[in-house]
Chain A
Amino acid sequence: MMSEFEIALMIGGMALINLAIRWPVYLFADHVRFPPLIDRALTFVPVTVLTAIIVPMILMPGGAEFEIDWRNPYLVASIVAAVISWRWHKLMPTIVIGMAVFVLMRWWVG
């Protein structure tokens, strides 16, 4: 185990690293304009990063093994939510119905 000083150093370093990732783009915003190609690439960030975060959670709820199966509540509720969102473009009904399907399936399938 580290000493108290080392723990403080670790936390301070982690905080600085997070700041060093998130802050510079905003800090230098007045001077930086991205070239058109980068601007176009950035329009893909939401659909790629957010999808990359959730798809493994949906297909591998345990973290290691595929559960591509109708008894996987994450998968079934996600499909329902995706269809609702794709068809009606409404966020609140997507969340409420998706959560409802998820909770019912967890209770029903066990």
Chain B
Amino acid sequence: MAGITQAEADIGREIMRGLIATLPMMISAFPFGLIFGALATSHGLTPLATMSMSLFVFSGSAQFIAIILLGTGSAIGVIWLATLILNLRHLLYAATLVDHVRHLNQVWRFGLAAWLTDETFAVMERRYRLEGGSANAHWYYTASCLGMYLNWAFWTYIGIVVGTRFEDIGAWGLEFAMVVTFIGIVMPALRSRPYWLAAITAGTIATLANALPYKLGLMLGALAGIAVGLALQEWQRRRRLAGAE
């Protein structure tokens, strides 16, 4: 098309690619958005409060826990604590991606932090690992964020409107789209034995500790995996050094 510069075409391409990479996770999330909207309103939250949660909290698992805790009459402090524990992993995500956003101004950095989710982290980690950064990589990131965000807000709204009559949709197993995408992202990242050991440890501990509240098992598994992976890597390095002498 006339009048479109090379840079604009490049931005457009990054946006399209970011959306396409995120699409399986949008499919995976939509039933939960719908169920959240239905469940929150059926638990006595107003449509405005329900919508505000999806727009401002934007964290599926924390939003569901809040509804459940509200139903049991928990104090606000308990709900806040649950949110904190549940989402601590996002700190690891931000620390992992920070090298790729450091050159951006603070407005960009705020947006890309506020909209960071498991799904966008997975998509962006893969992109940076395979292609490195580029001048417009943050548009890819933005597209992934907005795709997840608008999808979540839209289906929350639909859930508020249609109510609980489509709750079966949770049993369809669409969340498997996220599972299979994460498998496709993690397998190629297992580049040496320490990474294999780290992943196996993380998966095992997270599963065994699955009954712990607030997804503590997830953090426990991840931290244990990181620790043993790092330890094996260090041990291999020392052995190589000793062998070279």
* A55 CB → nearest B CB, Å: 3
* Contacts beyond the supplied A17-B80, A77-B176: 19 A-B pairs with Cβ under 8 Å: A10-B76, A21-B94, A44-B194, A45-B96, A48-B198, A50-B122, A52-B205, A53-B218, A54-B203, A56-B206, A56-B207, A61-B173, A81-B183, A82-B183, A98-B183, A98-B184, A99-B176, A102-B176, A106-B173
B116 CB–A CB distance under 8 Å = yes
Interface residues of A in 32-77 (CB under 8 A from B): 32, 34, 37-38, 40-42, 44-61, 63-64, 73-74, 77
B155 CB–A CB distance under 8 Å = no
Find chain B residues with CB under 8 A from A7 CB.
45-46, 49
* A66 CB → nearest B CB, Å: 8
Interface residues of B in 110-168 (CB under 8 A from A): 110, 112-114, 116, 118, 121-122, 125-126, 129
Chain B interface size range: 35 or more
B57 CB–A CB distance under 8 Å = yes
Find chain B residues with CB under 8 A from A34 CB.
95
Find chain B residues with CB under 8 A from A74 CB.
173, 176, 179
B16 CB–A CB distance under 8 Å = no
Residue of A nearest to B195 (CB): A47
Q: What are 23 contact pairs spanning A and B, CB under 8 A?
A: A4-B49, A7-B45, A8-B49, A10-B80, A14-B83, A15-B57, A17-B80, A18-B62, A18-B90, A24-B94, A26-B98, A27-B110, A44-B225, A45-B95, A47-B202, A48-B221, A50-B122, A53-B182, A55-B206, A56-B210, A64-B211, A81-B183, A95-B184
Asked if residues B183 and A14 are in contact (CB atoms below 8 Å), the reply is: no
Interface residues of A in 8-29 (CB under 8 A from B): 8-15, 17-19, 21-27, 29
Residue of B nearest to A12 (CB): B56
Asked if residues A95 and B83 are in contact (CB atoms below 8 Å), the reply is: no
Asked if residues A19 and B177 are in contact (CB atoms below 8 Å), the reply is: no
Report how far A47 CA is from B86 CA in the complex, Å: 19
B-binding residues in A (CB < 8 A): 1-2, 4, 6-15, 17-19, 21-27, 29-30, 32, 34, 37-38, 40-42, 44-61, 63-64, 73-74, 77-78, 81-82, 85-86, 89-91, 94-95, 98-99, 102, 106
Nearest first, the 10 A-B pairs at minimum CB distance are A55-B203, A48-B225, A94-B184, A98-B180, A52-B206, A85-B187, A52-B221, A48-B202, A25-B94, A26-B109
* Known contacts A49-B222, A52-B206; A44/B195 CB under 8 A: yes
* Known contacts A2-B70, A41-B230; A49/B114 CB under 8 A: no
Asked if residues B177 and A95 are in contact (CB atoms below 8 Å), the reply is: yes
* Known contacts A18-B62, A21-B87, A25-B91; A46/B125 CB under 8 A: yes
